[in-house]
Amino acid sequence: MNIAFVLFPDFEELDFAGPWEVFGMATKYIDTTWRPYTVAAEREVRGFLGLCVRVDYTFAEAPKPDLVVVPGGVGTRAGMQDEALIGYLRSAAAGAQHVASVCTGALLLRAAGVLEGKRATTQWGARKELAGLGGVEIVDARWVQDGNIVTAAGVSAGIDMALYMVGQLKTPEDAKKVQRFMEYDPQPPYADVPALF
């Protein structure tokens, strides 16, 4: 299974790296036929916090994906006006079996027409923005699946979403193995943080 991680300037690093870790770990230990790779307009792309990624493929070179994963970040706003990015997302999503977004990556999916008539979520601070684009039923949830599309709320929710998808694409037991390999057992030091939404 080809898993395309679509990057763009000022993407949110953990939106990308969290699901990458999950699918990458699944590739190493669960199904070696899975093939995660990065795609962007240019060979190098810099995230919002400064991480520079040399991508595997440009949009023109990328193999056909079976799963498309779109991170969020402040760059999504400019990305919504980027014809090359939106065109790639529209084309890749149309041919893929599964599509996923993390955080404000949902804004890019909406701009590409992928979320039209769907239920979706995004980061709490961007839900009104996504609703304002129309055609999407906004859900207050950690992740939401509507058909072959799964959207996740902000940043760390992408890890949960990716584990959920491993459980759906393989088995829940396989997802639990990946979770164990990653030693993913969230215990934030400030568990009493008030809800912000």
CA distance 156 to 19: 9
Annotated active-site residue in 41, 55, 103, 138? 103
Torsion sign, CA atoms 18, 20, 21, 23: positive
Q: Is 52 a catalytic residue?
A: no
Supply the DSSP symbol for 62. P
The residues, ordered by sequence, that sit 6+ positions from 120 with a Cβ below 8 Å of its Cβ are 101, 106, 109, 110, 130, 136, 137, 138, 139, 144, 146, 149, 151
User: Element (H or E) spanning 129, and its range?
Assistant: helix 127-132
Give the pLDDT score at 194.
Answer: 66
Confidence class of residue 195 from pLDDT cuts 50, 70 and 90?
low
For the cut 50, the answer to whether the pLDDT of residue 197 exceeds it is: no
CATH number for the domain whose boundaries are 2-182: 3.40.50.880
User: For residue range 8-53, what is the model confidence (pLDDT) as tens digits?
Assistant: 999 999 999 999 999 999 999 999 999 999 999 999 999 999 999 9
| Residue 151 · residue 106 · CB < 8 Å | yes
Supply the DSSP symbol for 112. T
Structure tokens at 24: 């990458």
For the cut 80, the answer to whether the pLDDT of residue 192 exceeds it is: no
User: For residue range 58-115, what is the model confidence (pLDDT) as tens digits?
Assistant: 999 999 999 999 999 999 999 999 999 999 999 999 999 999 999 999 999 999 999 9
Structure tokens at 158: 């992408």
Give the pLDDT score at 78.
Answer: 98
User: How do the domains of the chain map onto residue ranges?
Assistant: 2-182
User: For residue range 103-112, what is the model confidence (pLDDT) as tens digits?
Assistant: 999 999 999 9
Give the global pTM. Answer: 0.95
Alpha-carbon 46 to chain mean position: 17
The count of other CB atoms within 10 Å of the CB of residue 159 is 23
